[in-house]
A and B are shown apart, each in its own frame.
Chain A
């Protein structure tokens, strides 16, 4: 019996020491660790939006459905109506908030801030932004491009209350692609939100202020994207 216990103890100790001595997994080198020259290609439409995430306009429908014998059948239709109402409400607010923004190119603002972050890191020799894919001489020179789009930007309700609070936001997509092979080396979808939270009136009442907050969040998106790319690279290369 004592032998069996001893054998069991030895086995447990061996297993435990095996766990303890295992070295932490080394970070594998990334295929873009050696990239030092980068062209950022900006493209795509950027949809300006005021995202409400509100249940308020749909509450009347909820109340009606509770009393209707066809409540279960009608619920999918009510959901659609509810979405449509929210969209209409948001459209008015969007029109108020989106004044004086036509000259802003969201992907370009993001790309400029992204460039700044990469340059400051000292890990890239050259970073530039282009509005189209490199061709001819440029294509032969560039090994890797970062394709950057900003599918959505605008204002988003981030806190319920009286009044509700909103923040500027930008949703950014980036793909690092090796031109020769078309291989996607790194991909990142970044939802970026301005730390500042304000009532809707602050945005609709002062367009210059709104414009600045939106530019700030686009710049924040560029810096965030840069941080994530640098973080994904191994250090000391």
Chain B
């Protein structure tokens, strides 16, 4: 082989290796579509300027969100980072409920930690039960006083039976689990109360 052909050959080998690597994972587009976001209890209080701190990923296993229960047992990953998915969901929910998400000079600061964002699949003969779970820890800080005024853990879980090789099932249960966690957040009367009046003397922790 001529010396000129070596770079092309190396490039081809690199591409082949990366394709083989890709074939061992399945990427799913988990998300919280804005079209489905409603004005809820969080909209019943005055509009606040809210800063969302960078979402932290506290999962013990960050390699993927589960394993497809078919013969190939492919690792399932999200097409976007889990922290971005959660942040986008929070932004969508806050904005739809009339609050303004700002980069600084806010009334309130929200910190969100992702404790769990995964699904399990229990396989039967031809079908499988998919269980998606999203657990978020939310902390609200009053910016002026610097005091934490609210902490709560929201857990969304969705169970669904589907074919073992159903490619949509993992995404469906994760979408629904995330939506359930966000709906619990948006209808949380205590969180709404804190948004309405975040004085430190009414701490709800």
Contact = CB atoms under 8 A, between A and B. Distances in A.
A74 B93 CA distance: 53
Contact of B38 (A51, A54, A195, A234): A234
Given A79-B125, A121-B189, A224-B180, A159 B41 contact: no
B74 interface: no
The DSSP consensus for interface residues of chain B is mixed
A213 B7 CA distance: 62
Interface string B156-170: 011111000000000
B53 interface: no
A230 B187 contact: yes
B97 to A, nearest CB: 7
A53 B124 contact: yes
B164 to A, nearest CB: 10
Most buried by B among A27, A123, A228, A230: A230
B187 A121 contact: yes
B159 A82 contact: no
Q: How large is the interface on A (under 10, 10 to 19, 20 to 34, 35 or more residues)?
A: 35 or more
B131 A193 contact: yes
Most buried by B among A53, A54, A79, A235: A235
A19 interface: no
A232 B38 contact: yes
Most buried by A among B34, B43, B180: B180
B59 to A, nearest CB: 15
A97 B186 CA distance: 36
B123 interface: yes
Given A193-B131, A195-B135, A156 B40 contact: no
A90 interface: no
Nearest to A195: B155
B184 A235 contact: no
A158 B38 contact: no
A62 B124 CA distance: 12
Interface in A37-70: 51, 53-55, 58, 62
B58 interface: no
B40 A235 contact: yes
B122 A228 contact: no
A51 B67 CA distance: 21
Interface of B: 34-35, 38-44, 97, 120, 122-125, 128-129, 131, 133, 135, 155, 157-161, 180, 183-184, 186-187, 189-190
The 6 A-B residue pairs with the shortest CB-CB distance in the complex, in nearest-first order = A235-B43, A235-B39, A230-B187, A193-B157, A53-B122, A231-B183
